[in-house]
Amino acid sequence: MRARAVVAGGAGFIGYTFVSRLLREGFDVVIVDNLATGTRRNINDLLQENHCEFVEHDICQPLAISGPVDYLVNLACPASPVDFSRIPVEIMRTCSEGTYNLLELALHKRAGFLHASTSEIYGDPEIHPQHEDYTGNVNIAGPRAVYDEGKRYAETLIHTYHREFDVPVHIARIFNTYGPRMRPDDGRVVSNFCIQALSGEPLTLYGDGQQTRSFCYVDDLVEGLFRVMLSEFSGPFNIGNIEEISMEELAEKVIELSGSASEIEHRPLLHPDDPKRRRPALDRIKETLGYEPTTDLTTGLTRTLDWFRQVVAEQ
Ligand code: NAD
Ligand code: UDP
């Protein structure tokens, strides 16, 4: 008998690669998405398969799915800092009411619950690298908090359903992820730099460019998510890559790998709370689940640039 997973947010960037993986592993999949930041086009090829169906639905509304469900996966949430000011209330509701509705469904179906949390719950971190026991430094009143505090609330709600109702839960804290099928206009740094470099436009470097991130290629992330989902552990587990780079170095790398003649243009920071450094401590997932990412930044960016080359050609 095939296992069946409901994937909320399955029409998004990470959702596409995660659902593809589930289908390859022999799962039946129901994608639930309101297409707020995902697209039908993203999943058209997946829906050609007999084992994948799509339900257009906003998870802020209660959800009914007929038949058995073994796993409920919550990837639904706009994740770009640009969206934090564009649709702040929708983000808070998706994290709170949306997660509640999915947990109720998991309880009703006796399904395991995998949740996409984020490194943003650490805020602008005072310790480096960030390990899972660090409680974070989020500015509650800042514009990023709609996402950060929403995700923190969701984690607490998930632990509560585990404690009170014995729902098997699994929390993954995802660090910056990149790769094919990123939304070209979502405003995140990798998509911006790739599109700008390939179009011969200046790369928009925010602030002094010395802030760092550690980027994880999407296939590596999905491998981690899959292991966390199948494990007996609640986590939380950081998933990411420890290769840390400043945004200035990233801009130079994208220019070099794309062979672009673009220059770098300094712009003000989008949000004053922009985290200054970010790198995951991966000891927990490595020791517990034997997980380590395998794609270095040069390889991953080369594949991502190949993808964006097609996108630019179609524009
Ligand atoms: P994405 O925007 O591409 O995907 C999110 C998907 O959720 C979209 O298809 C969107 O339409 C859907 N969605 C949003 N609100 C919804 C709602 N109320 N009801 C139903 N569907 C809804 O983003 P992504 O980068 O693929 O992120 C997926 C998950 O991973 C998110 O939960 C995000 O917070 C988390 N995450 C991503 C990153 C990253 O670097 N990409 C980092 C940390 C955490
Ligand atoms: N950034 C940048 N230029 C851009 C977009 C983003 O310099 O065109 C910076 C941003 O200020 C942040 C980093 O790149 O310091 C990562 O931004 P992103 O929005 O990708 O993700 P975040 O980690 O901030 O959620």
pTM, full prediction? 0.98
Structure tokens that stand for 51 in this block: 């084992």
Indicate whether residue 189 lines ligand 1 (CB < 6 A): no
Going by pLDDT thresholds of 50, 70 and 90, the confidence category of residue 12 is: very high
pLDDT of residue 315: 79
ω before 236 within 30° of 0 (cis)?
Answer: yes
Question: What average pLDDT does this structure show over 57-67?
Answer: 97
**Domain 4-177+216-239: CATH superfamily, name plus number:** NAD(P)-binding Rossmann-like Domain (3.40.50.720)
β-bridge pairing 169-174 and 237-239: parallel
pLDDT of residue 248: 98
The owner of tokens 């790769």 is 179
Same fold, 4-177+216-239 and 182-213+243-278+295-314: no
**Tens digit of pLDDT for each residue in 210-249?**
999 999 999 999 999 999 999 999 999 999 999 999 999 9
Distance 52 CA to ligand 2 centre (A): 34
Residue range 182-213+243-278+295-314, CATH number: 3.90.25.10
Residue 154 has pLDDT above 90, yes or no: yes
Indicate whether residue 76 lines ligand 1 (CB < 6 A): yes
pLDDT of residue 258: 97
Look up residue 255 and give its amino acid. Answer: I
The owner of tokens 């029409």 is 11
Distance 116 CA to ligand 2 centre (A): 20
Distance 268 CA to ligand 1 centre (A): 26
Show me where the domains of the chain are located: 4-177+216-239, 182-213+243-278+295-314
The residue to mutate among 178, 212, 247, having the most atoms of ligand 2 within 8 angstroms of its beta carbon, is 247
Distance 9 CA to ligand 1 centre (A): 6
Residues known to be catalytic: 147
Query: Which residues approach ligand 2 with their CB closer than 6 A?
Result: 81, 176, 188-189, 192, 204-207, 211, 213, 247, 269-270, 274
Ligand nearest to the CA of 190: 2
Question: What average pLDDT does this structure show over 163-188?
Answer: 96
